[in-house]
Amino acid sequence: MPREFKRSERVAGTLRRELAQLIQMEVKDPEVGFVGLSDVEVSRDLSHAKVFVTVFETDKAESSLKALNRAAGYLRRRLGQEMRIRSVPELHFQHDASVETGQRMDSLIDAAVASDRSDSGDPDRDGDE
């Protein structure tokens, strides 16, 4: 019976859980703002991991990513202590702007709905809607 998940996907899931705890509990850098891990992608050879980070304070996104990349060596060492894996992937933190994009889309939709409501009260339009 073939495996349901690739090894790199299992490692990525474990990395995501462990990293979230380590960042929350052990990274004391004040530059790291309120962040969340949205995804982790691990290369097939398990040597590199892209860690996608959502920064909830958009003005602190750049400084938070720099601080996390500075802490990558420490986090990698701690992951090696916590996980049962021969070699821990090198960590590369990247900004995930999906939350900001979603908020922008929500505001555009709200503006369009509000515009439609104000147009429906227009006496020049037919009432056939």
| Residue 39: predicted pLDDT | 92
Count: domains in the chain: 1
Q: Rounded to a whole number, what is the largest CA-CA distance in the chain? A: 73
pTM for the predicted model, two decimal places: 0.74
Domain extent, residue 106, equals 7-119
| Residue 3: predicted pLDDT | 55
Residue 17: CA count within 13 A, CB half-sphere: 7
Q: Is 24 within a domain?
A: yes
pLDDT averaged per 10 residues in sequence order, the chain, 129 residues: 71 92 89 88 92 87 91 92 88 87 88 85 52
Q: Is 1 within a domain?
A: no
Q: Is 2 within a domain?
A: no
Q: Is 76 within a domain?
A: yes
| Residue 1: predicted pLDDT | 46
Check the CA dihedral 43-74-77-82 and report its sign.
negative
Q: Is 127 within a domain?
A: no
Q: Is 11 within a domain?
A: yes
Q: What is the CATH number of the domain that holds 62?
A: 3.30.300.20
Q: Report the amino acid identity of residue 39.
A: D
| Residue 16: predicted pLDDT | 94
